[in-house]
Structure 1
Amino acid sequence: MRLSRSAKTVLGVITGLVLFFIYAPLLLVVVNSFNADRTFGWPPSGFTLEWWGRAFDSTGVREALATSLWVAVVSTVLSLVLGTLLSMALQRYRFFGREVVNLLVILPIALPGIVTGIALNNMFTTILGVPLSLWTVIVAHATFCMVTVFNNAIARLRRMSPGLEEASADLGAGVFTTFRLVTFPQLRSALLAGGLLAFALSFDEIIVTTFTIGAGETTLPIWILQNLFRPNQAPVVNVVAVVLILVSILPIWLAQRLSADSVGVGAASGRAAAKAAKKG
């Protein structure tokens, strides 16, 4: 479809306005993290690195950052394991209730966060009698983070030829050898992309975390919420928000680049199948 010059101009203006509406507030947060005016007057009266120094010297910020990183890393590892196993089971095998299981796996990421948080809080405290802690947060994050891994892995599996795995098995390679040398190399970039997205989702999650975290524990998003309206902490909050933006953007950008990779099923995969057969 070919568009006229006027149509292209209108679409370009609309796109520019939408992007400006989305990213101008983020740019304002970045500018205010260097704003010398504590009340964030505009235009800035000057620029300073004082707030960045205070943020790095803050014990509360460092502890919250370490907690967020720990939760994100562990929940990402759990998501990679569960998402990979689920994707292979649902793509490679046919069984009764397969479509229902597929829906139930994807559903957590579609549910409102507050619903997921309340449900998990009730399960931990009422049904299981488990005290809330960082481990309950990790389990809670894994329930929706594994969906990103699952979606990436199953999409890649659908594009892979099962013939290579069958050839590897016919030539005597075992199940684990075939997975390690044939299946996993083709899944690797999809799993890495899904893992990066899972990390980003977990790192900046606040609603589910609020309902599942124990007393005395604080993640970085919760620290921001608690200090947002404290005048003495407002400049530091902007610095922490910038760090949160950067930590969230980098995994998503890398995941987007990795997701664009195509699956190679040519000579390289054939050599992997032959290698797997020798190992078997």
Structure 2
Amino acid sequence: MRSDRPRAGWPLKLAALGGFLFLHVPLALILLYAFSSEDKSYQFPPPGLTTEWFAVAFGRQDVWDAIWLSLKVAAWATAIAMVLGSLVAGALARARFFGREAISLLIILPIALPGIITGIALRSGFNALDIPFSFWTIVIGHATFCVVVVYNNAVARLRRTSPSLIEASMDLGADGLQTLRHVILPQLGTALLAGGMLAFALSFDEVIVTTFTAGQQTTLPIWMLNELVRPRQRPVTNVVAVIIIAVTFFPILAAYFLTREGEHASGSGK
């Protein structure tokens, strides 16, 4: 029995294939050059393949220091974003007051603006307040856009959650904390988890805002940028890029499956 669903024509299929290749061939080249035996230039095809650069990368202390700093920054920025983003979402999802839409716009503005604008604004603010650049200035800079990711996920889930569930919980004698624990958080849980994963991935590979707020700190993206400008061992940079792809790919994939619509989506009775 033939399906009644319309089938895509060849032009659309070719366009989709072209877009897929445009996005993913550069990633494949990064993976290929991570195994290149040539350490000075990007020659295609590589003159030889080797795994020695993985050992070199894992043996360099500056790489581990940059990775550890990026992980700490991403963890703190995500934690701050989870708290602030969920609180703001809870306040704006149900309440109706003058200026509500303006506040919502201001919350999402940091991720809508170019990163260089956010970076310059933060640097100017830190200089004006005489705050020295440190680990915490990077965390604050990253939290500005991580909050938006968590907020968007949380507010969307709260708006799809029926208010009658909360009303029923209160009518049955539950106090505010019990309602939060047994009704709201189970409905909101995977949305917050997905928002946190996306926030972590965005923070881990952020470079523009970090450039303006890091001072002498060197996160992993900053280290990679410096290595590309003044290369010593180009394949090592590609090895680290493969690590970043792996670290950010799995949170984004998990966030996609946690927030996609369908009968298996969280909040539908799980």
- TM-score class, shorter-chain normalisation, is over 0.9
Match of 1:239 in 2: 239
Shift of 1:43: 1.6
Deviations 1:148-180 (A, max 9, x none): 111111111111111111111122211111101
- Please tell me the residue identity of whatever aligns with 1:214: G
Give 1:96's match in structure 2, choosing from 80, 95, 98: 98
1:262 is the counterpart of 2:265: yes
Match of 2:152 in 1: 151
Separation in 2 of the partners of 1:264 and 1:243? Answer: 33
Match of 2:29 in 1: 28
Aligned residues: 263
| Local SS of the residue matching 1:44 | coil
Separation in 2 of the partners of 1:40 and 1:137? Answer: 32
* TM-score, normalization by structure 2: 0.93
Match of 2:193 in 1: 192
Shift of 1:52: 0.6
The answer (yes or no) to whether the contact 1:156–1:263 under 8 Å persists in 2 is no
The answer (yes or no) to whether the contact 2:258–2:266 under 8 Å persists in 1 is no
RMSD: 1.6
Match of 1:117 in 2: 119
Matches within 5 A, 1:168-247: 168-215=169-216, 217-247=217-247
- Please tell me the residue identity of whatever aligns with 2:83: V
Deviations 1:52-74 (A, max 9, x none): 11100011000000000000000
Separation in 1 of the partners of 2:231 and 2:169? Answer: 65
Shift of 1:19: 1.2
Separation in 1 of the partners of 2:224 and 2:87? Answer: 36
Separation in 2 of the partners of 1:115 and 1:159? Answer: 34
1:62 is the counterpart of 2:61: no
Shift of 1:263: 4.8
Shift of 1:214: 2.4
Deviations 1:132-163 (A, max 9, x none): 11101111111111111111111111111111
Separation in 2 of the partners of 1:145 and 1:231? Answer: 31
The answer (yes or no) to whether the contact 1:29–1:241 under 8 Å persists in 2 is yes
- Please tell me the residue identity of whatever aligns with 2:186: P
Separation in 2 of the partners of 1:212 and 1:203? Answer: 15
Shift of 1:2: 6.3
Identity of aligned residues (%): 52
Separation in 2 of the partners of 1:263 and 1:227? Answer: 42
Separation in 2 of the partners of 1:242 and 1:45? Answer: 20
Shift of 1:44: 2.1
Shift of 1:265: 5.6
* TM-score, normalization by structure 1: 0.90
Deviations 1:100-134 (A, max 9, x none): 111111111000000000000011111x2111111
Separation in 1 of the partners of 2:76 and 2:231? Answer: 34
| Local SS of the residue matching 2:199 | helix
Gaps of 5+ in 1: 269-280
The answer (yes or no) to whether the contact 2:258–2:265 under 8 Å persists in 1 is no
> For structure 1, which segment, 41-50 or 20-29, has the greater mean C-alpha deviation from structure 2 after superposition?
41-50
Separation in 2 of the partners of 1:257 and 1:264? Answer: 13
The answer (yes or no) to whether the contact 1:159–1:263 under 8 Å persists in 2 is no
CA change 1:162–1:265 in 2 (3 A) is farther
The answer (yes or no) to whether the contact 2:186–2:267 under 8 Å persists in 1 is no
Separation in 2 of the partners of 1:75 and 1:255? Answer: 17
1:72 is the counterpart of 2:74: yes
Match of 2:164 in 1: 163
Gaps of 5+ in 2: none
CA change 1:154–1:58 in 2 (3 A) is same
Match of 1:277 in 2: none
CA change 1:123–1:147 in 2 (3 A) is same
Shift of 1:3: 5.1
Deviations 1:164-205 (A, max 9, x none): 111111222111111011100110010000000000110000
Separation in 1 of the partners of 2:230 and 2:149? Answer: 36
